[in-house]
């Protein structure tokens, strides 16, 4: 297999790829020691039966520019095929400011085509390509050079088998008139906001046991500092301090280096220097926050008056729709969505777009008493009332 190490080689491959209807893409990266993913390898394959039309691209090679690849991504005459594309797209968006269009994600397509929730690549290779897949190199250090033959074989397999999977799923989507469903699902992956983390909103990811306004103000400022520090230094947020330490700091409210030193959960590196100063400044800001500016947790679901019997009927209806359509239940609606519908909420994704066609219309009819459910053989079906 060929490894491309120069911009000229990459440009030649991408120019050839633009003569084909699609190209399969995958990446290998590291993120354990950094905030942002470190791109270590890009795999590409044009249509074909062997690995002759597939290459490895070494983004760590001196002087290599990925601009020819980004030009290919911008060519809307060539479908860019990924599996579970989110992390790959994040890398390309943050590094190159580009989204591959048009995009096809085989994991999303598989959920629409009856392969269950979040089908893994190995599962699709086994079920569609009928091939074994060696995953032994999955967790190796992709930044180390030279790459071993085992690593190269593993990496190239992530785009060669993907061709057959794409062709199978694409054909199935066309025959079932569901291609638009997948396109609709992929829009969130092609939205810049999906990949931009606002430090001021980082507190929402921290799980707390209290909704006290002052406590949440402290959590917000500590999370804001941690996120900003991690981004600017390109280190994992947990290397700054973990959530457990953040919650401890929000409770103890240290206001001096001496008080900070009494923390049980704070790592030694965070008890001095810039991190310690940032913590004390964040605590000070949190303590001085005006009550009118306290963070407001989302309590919308707490106020829902859920009809439990109706929620149970909606669960039965959803299972029935999943079995009859083959679409993954998780993709159509969550348990929280069903409770919200049963409580009268209507501005929900489960009631819009293709989901309304598959489930939403009947869910609303069920809520309005216009249909009922009955057992028919081994299935449950909707019947007019």
Judge whether residue 195 has pLDDT over 80: yes
Q: Please, are residues 66 and 10 in contact by the beta-carbon 8 Å criterion?
A: yes
Question: CB-side exposure of 350: number of CA atoms within 13 Å?
Answer: 26
CA–CA dist 217, 240 (Å, integer): 19
CATH architecture, domain defined by 308-384: Orthogonal Bundle (1.10)
Judge whether residue 303 has pLDDT over 80: no
Judge whether residue 300 has pLDDT over 80: no
Tell me, which fold does domain 2-194 have in CATH? Answer: Nucleotidyltransferase; domain 5 (3.30.420)
User: pLDDT at position 137, please?
Assistant: 82
At 341-374, the pLDDT tens digits run: 999 999 999 999 999 999 999 999 999 999 999 9
User: pLDDT at position 305, please?
Assistant: 86
Judge whether residue 112 has pLDDT over 80: yes
Judge whether residue 299 has pLDDT over 80: no
Strands 54-57 and 38-45: antiparallel
Q: How confident is the model at residue 161 (pLDDT cuts 50, 70, 90)?
A: very high
Lowest mean pLDDT among 8-12, 29-33, 39-43, 96-100: 29-33
Which pairs with CB-CB distance under 8 Å and at least 24 residues apart come from 132-141?
133/157, 133/161, 141/30
More confident residue, 236 or 135: 236
Per CATH, 2-194 and 199-293 having the same topology is answered: no
User: pLDDT at position 135, please?
Assistant: 78
Residue 39's φ and ψ, nearest 5 degrees, are: -70, 125
Judge whether residue 377 has pLDDT over 80: yes
% of the chain at pLDDT higher than 70: 99
Give the domain ranges of the chain: 2-194, 199-293, 308-384
Judge whether residue 89 has pLDDT over 80: yes
User: pLDDT at position 360, please?
Assistant: 97
Q: How confident is the model at residue 301 (pLDDT cuts 50, 70, 90)?
A: low
Average pLDDT of the residues of the chain = 95
Judge whether residue 302 has pLDDT over 80: no
Q: How confident is the model at residue 295 (pLDDT cuts 50, 70, 90)?
A: very high
Q: How confident is the model at residue 128 (pLDDT cuts 50, 70, 90)?
A: very high
% of the chain at pLDDT higher than 90: 89
Tell me, which fold does domain 199-293 have in CATH? Answer: DNA polymerase; domain 1 (1.10.150)
CA neighbor of 341 nearest in space, from 351, 332, 331:
351
User: pLDDT at position 336, please?
Assistant: 92
At 313-332, the pLDDT tens digits run: 999 999 999 999 999 999 99
**HEC letters along the chain:** CEEECCHHHHHHHHHHHCCCCEEEEEEEEECCCCCCCEEEEEEEECCCCCHHHEEEECCCCCCCCCHHHHHHHHCCCCEEEECCCHHHHHHHHHHHCCCCCCEEEHHHHHHHCCCCCCCCHHHHHHHHHCCCCCCCCCCCCCCCCCCCHHHHHHHHHHHHHHHHHHHHHHHHHHHCCCHHHHHHHHHHHHCHHHCCCCHHHHHHHCCCCCCCHHHHHHHHHHHHHHHHHHHHHCCCHHHHCCHHHHHHHHHHCCCCHHHHCCCCCCCHHHHCHHHHHHHHHHHHHHHHCCHHHCCCCCCCCCCCCCCHHHHHHHHHHHHHHHHHHCCCHHHHCCHHHHHHHHCCCCCCHHHCHHHHHHHHHHHHHHHCCCEEEEEECCEEEEEEC
Taking the CB of residue 97, how many other CB atoms lie within 10 A of it?
9
């Amino acid at each position: 297999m060929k490894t491309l190490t120069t911009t000229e080689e990459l440009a030649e491959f991408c120019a050839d790829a633009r003569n084909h209807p699609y190209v399969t893409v995958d990446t290998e990266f590291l993120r354990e020691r950094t905030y942002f993913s470190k791109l270590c390898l890009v795999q590409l394959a044009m249509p074909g039966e062997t690995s002759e039309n597939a290459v490895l691209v070494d983004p760590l090679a001196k002087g290599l520019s990925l601009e020819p690849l980004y030009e290919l991504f911008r060519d809307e005459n060539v479908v860019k095929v990924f599996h579970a594309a989110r992390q790959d797209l994040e890398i390309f968006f943050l590094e190159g400011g580009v989204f591959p269009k048009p995009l096809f994600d085989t994991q999303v397509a598989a959920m629409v085509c009856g392969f269950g929730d979040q089908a893994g690549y190995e599962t699709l290779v086994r079920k569609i390509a009928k091939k074994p897949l060696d995953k032994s190199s999955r967790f190796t250090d992709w930044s180390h050079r030279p790459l071993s033959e085992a690593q190269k074989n593993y990496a190239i397999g992530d785009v060669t088998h993907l061709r057959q999977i794409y062709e199978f799923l694409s054909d199935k989507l066309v025959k079932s008139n569901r291609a638009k469903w997948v396109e609709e699902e992929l829009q969130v992956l092609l939205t810049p906001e999906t990949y931009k983390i606002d430090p001021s909103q980082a507190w929402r990811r921290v799980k707390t046991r209290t909704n006290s306004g002052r406590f949440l103000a402290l959590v917000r400022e500590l999370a804001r500092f941690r996120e900003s520090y991690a981004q600017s230094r390109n280190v994992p947020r947990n290397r700054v301090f973990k959530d457990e330490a953040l919650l401890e700091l929000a409770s103890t409210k240290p206001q001096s280096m001496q008080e900070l030193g009494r923390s049980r959960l704070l790592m030694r590196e965070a008890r001095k220097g810039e991190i310690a100063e940032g913590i004390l400044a964040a605590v000070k800001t949190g303590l001085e926050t005006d009550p009118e500016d306290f963070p407001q947790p989302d309590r919308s679901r707490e106020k829902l008056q859920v009809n439990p019997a109706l929620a149970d009927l909606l669960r039965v209806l959803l299972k029935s729709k999943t079995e009859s359509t083959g679409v993954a239940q998780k993709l159509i609606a969550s348990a929280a969505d069903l409770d919200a519908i049963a409580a009268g909420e209507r501005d929900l994704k489960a009631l819009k777009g293709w989901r309304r066609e598959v489930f939403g219309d009947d869910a609303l009819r069920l809520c309005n008493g216009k249909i009922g459910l009955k057992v028919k053989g081994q299935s449950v079906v909707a019947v007019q009332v």
